A and B are shown apart, each in its own frame.
Chain A
C-alpha cells in the first residue's frame, strides 16, 4: 500500500540552526500537510499546501517556518532559526479531495526533532 515517507527519522540540531524536514507524499495525492506533536500533547496543525501554494497556516507557523515542493515528489518543512520549543514530532500527511467530502489524510512515520 502506498505510504507517506519522511526523512530523517530523528534530527538533533543546535538552537538557532536551520533544519529541513523532508517528506515524500503518496504519489496521486494533491494536498500536503505538516503537523507537529509536542511530547504528551495534542497533534497540532501547522500548514496545508495545494497547487504549489499554502492553503492555510496556523498561528504556530510564523516567519521562521516555510514549506516548499522543490520537485514533483518532495515536500519540505524548513525552520530557519530553531528554538528549544520547536522540539517535537513533526508529521507530514497527504490526501486527495473529491467533491464536498474529503478523503482521509495519511500520515508519515514522523521526524523527531530535538533542539539542544
Chain B
C-alpha cells in the first residue's frame, strides 16, 4: 500500500512568517513529488514539483526532498493571507500508469 502522510493541521502562522509543510511517503521507489494548493471547493492547483534530492526554489516557495528519509517539504516565505488553503503532497508512480497518490493535506492559516 503506497501511503503519503501529512499533518492535517491547521498550521497557523502570522503574515510575513515562513510556513513549513511536511510530507512523508512509504515507497522508496518514488521518483516525482508534487505540491498542490487547494482552496475550499476548488481543484488542486500545482505549486511546485521536485525530482532530485535537495532544494528547489520558485519565488516565495521552496520544495525540499530527502529520498533517504522519504521526506518532502514545502516552505512558503513571507506568508500572505491569500496563502491560506489546504496544501496537498502528491507522489507519482510511473510504473502504475503515472497515478498520483495524495496525502490528506495540511490546512494552512495565515493570520494578518
| Nearest CB in chain B: distance from A98 CB, A | 11
Let me know if B43 and A108 touch, CB within 8 A.
yes
Q: Which residue of A lies closest to B38 (CB)?
A: A43
- List B residues at the A interface (Cβ < 8 Å): 31-32, 34, 36, 42-46, 49, 51, 88, 90, 92, 94, 96-105
Interface residues on A, range: 20 to 34
Let me know if A45 and B32 touch, CB within 8 A.
no
Q: Tally of A-B residue pairs with Cβ under 8 A?
A: 69
Let me know if A45 and B43 touch, CB within 8 A.
no
| Nearest CB in chain A: distance from B60 CB, A | 19
Let me know if B51 and A101 touch, CB within 8 A.
yes
Q: Using an 8 Å CB-CB cutoff, how does the interface string of A82-102 with B read, 1 for contact, 0 for none?
A: 000000010101010100111
Let me know if A42 and B100 touch, CB within 8 A.
no
Q: Could you tell me which residues of chain A, from 36 to 72, have a CB within 8 Å of some CB in chain B?
A: 41-45, 47-48, 50, 54-58
Q: A42-B103, A43-B88, A101-B51 are in contact. Are A33 and B43 (CB under 8 A)?
A: no
- List A residues at the B interface (Cβ < 8 Å): 31, 33, 35, 41-45, 47-48, 50, 54-58, 89, 91, 93, 95, 97, 100-102, 104-110
| Nearest CB in chain A: distance from B29 CB, A | 12
Q: A91-B44, A107-B43 are in contact. Are A102 and B32 (CB under 8 A)?
A: yes
On chain B, the residues within 8 Å of A57 by CB distance are 97
What are 19 A-to-B residue pairs whose CB atoms are below 8 Å? A33-B98, A33-B100, A35-B100, A41-B104, A42-B105, A43-B44, A48-B98, A48-B99, A50-B98, A56-B99, A89-B43, A91-B44, A93-B100, A95-B98, A97-B98, A102-B32, A102-B98, A108-B43, A109-B42
7 more contacts with CB within 8 A, not counting A43-B44, A107-B45, are A33-B99, A47-B97, A100-B31, A101-B31, A102-B31, A102-B98, A108-B43
Let me know if B94 and A102 touch, CB within 8 A.
yes
